[in-house]
Structure 1
Amino acid sequence: MPTSPNLQELFRTAFGAVYQCNRYNCYFVEFAGGISPFKVKDFLVLKQQVEAIDVARMVEDPSRASDVHVLMPYRSERCFVLTLADVLHFQELLQGAKAMMALNSILHECLQAQVA
Structure 2
Amino acid sequence: MICPLAHVEEIFSSTHGAVYQCSRKNCYWLEFQQTTTAFRISDFFLFKKRIDAIDVACMLGDSSRSADFEILMPFRTERCFILSVEDILNLREILAGAKFVIELNSEIKRILRSNAVLAI
State TM-score, norm by structure 1.
0.95
Q: Distance in 2 between matches of 1:5 and 1:90?
A: 24
SS for the counterpart of 1:95 is helix
User: Which blocks of at least 5 consecutive residues in structure 2 are unaligned?
Assistant: none
Q: Pick closer, same or farther for the CA change 1:92–1:4 going to 2, 3 Å.
A: farther
Instruction: Write the deviation string for residues 6-48 of structure 1: whole angstroms up to 9, x where unpaired.
Output: 1000000110000011221100000011001001000011001
Instruction: Write the deviation string for residues 60-80 of structure 1: whole angstroms up to 9, x where unpaired.
Output: 001111110001100110000
The aligned counterpart of 2:96 is 95
State the 4+ residue runs in structure 1 displaced beyond 4 angstroms: 1-5
Greater Cα radius of gyration, structure 1 or 2: 2
Q: Distance in 1 between matches of 2:116 and 2:5?
A: 30
SS for the counterpart of 2:47 is helix
User: Which blocks of at least 5 consecutive residues in structure 1 are unaligned?
Assistant: none
The aligned counterpart of 2:66 is 65
Q: Are residues 1:28 and 2:55 paired?
A: no
State TM-score, norm by structure 2.
0.91
- Percent of aligned pairs with the same residue? 42
The aligned counterpart of 1:44 is 45
Q: May I ask how many residue pairs the two structures share in their alignment?
A: 116
